[in-house]
A and B are shown apart, each in its own frame.
Chain A
Amino acid sequence: MKRLTERDEAEINSILSREDEILPSSGFATSVMDAVRREATAPPPIPFPWKRALPGLVVGCFALVLVLVAGVRVIAQLDKATGPQASMSSPSVAPLLFHGGGIESAATWTVLALLLALVSVKLSVRLTSGRV
Chain B
Amino acid sequence: MNASASDDQADVERVLAGDVSAFEGIVRRWQTPLVNLAYRFCHDRCRSEDMAQEAFLRAYRGLAQWRKDAVFSTWLFALATNLYRSELRRIPARTVSLEDIAEPPDTRASDRSLEDRDYDRDTTVRRAVFALPAKYREALTLFYFHDMDVTTAARSLGLPEGTVKARLFRGRDILRNKLPQLLAVPRLKEA
Contacts and interface: CB of A to CB of B under 8 A. Distances in A.
Contact of B49 (A11, A19, A21, A24): A24
A18 interface: yes
B173 interface: yes
Interface residues of A, number: 28
Contact of B173 (A4, A21, A32, A39): A4
A32 B148 CA distance: 29
B172 A9 contact: yes
Chief secondary structure at chain A's binding surface:
helix
A26 B125 CA distance: 31
Contacts of B52: 24, 28, 32
A25 interface: yes
A28 B35 contact: yes
Interface in B14-71: 20-21, 23-24, 27-28, 31-32, 35-36, 39-40, 45, 48-49, 52-53, 56-57, 60-61
Interface string A18-45: 1101111100110111011101100000
Contacts of B183: 8, 11-12
A1 B173 contact: yes
Contact of B48 (A12, A13, A22, A32): A22
A128 interface: no
Given A17-B144, A28-B31, A28-B49, A22 B39 contact: yes
Interface of B: 20-21, 23-24, 27-28, 31-32, 35-36, 39-40, 45, 48-49, 52-53, 56-57, 60-61, 121-122, 125-126, 129, 140, 144-145, 147-148, 169, 172-173, 175-177, 183
9 contacts: A2-B177, A15-B121, A21-B36, A32-B27, A32-B31, A33-B23, A33-B24, A35-B57, A40-B60
**7 nearest CB pairs, A to B:** A16-B144, A24-B35, A40-B20, A15-B125, A24-B31, A32-B56, A29-B27
